[in-house]
């Protein structure tokens, strides 16, 4: 296997892991699990983290719905 390709894949997985952790933390999710997902799956882990629903928004919408009856 070409060393350059291996290094590029490793760097892309590390970048994806860091971004997935940041996105998950902003959405009030377990950022360490998404860091691991980014390390294992690379850009797919990042795409999955971006697709997560925001817990802050869910709680706020539930609060509004309960107070309207």
Range 29-46 average pLDDT: 95
Look at residues 39, 29, 48, 51 and name the one whose alpha carbon lies nearest to residue 16.
Answer: 39
Range 51-61 average pLDDT: 89
Look at residues 41, 42, 46, 1 and name the one whose alpha carbon lies nearest to residue 22.
Answer: 46
pTM for the whole structure: 0.82
**d(Cα 59, Cα 23) in Å, to the nearest integer?**
18
The pLDDT value given to residue 69: 72
**The Cα angle at residue 45 between residues 42 and 47, in degrees rounded to 5:** 110
Helix locations, 1-69, DSSP H: 3-26, 31-41, 43-50, 55-67
């Amino acid at each position: 296997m070409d060393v350059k390709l291996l290094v590029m894949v490793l760097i892309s997985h590390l970048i994806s892991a860091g971004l997935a952790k940041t996105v998950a933390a902003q959405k009030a999710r377990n950022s360490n699990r998404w860091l691991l997902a980014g390390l294992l799956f690379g850009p797919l882990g990042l795409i999955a983290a971006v697709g997560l629903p925001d817990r802050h928004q869910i709680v706020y919408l539930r609060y509004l719905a309960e107070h309207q009856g």
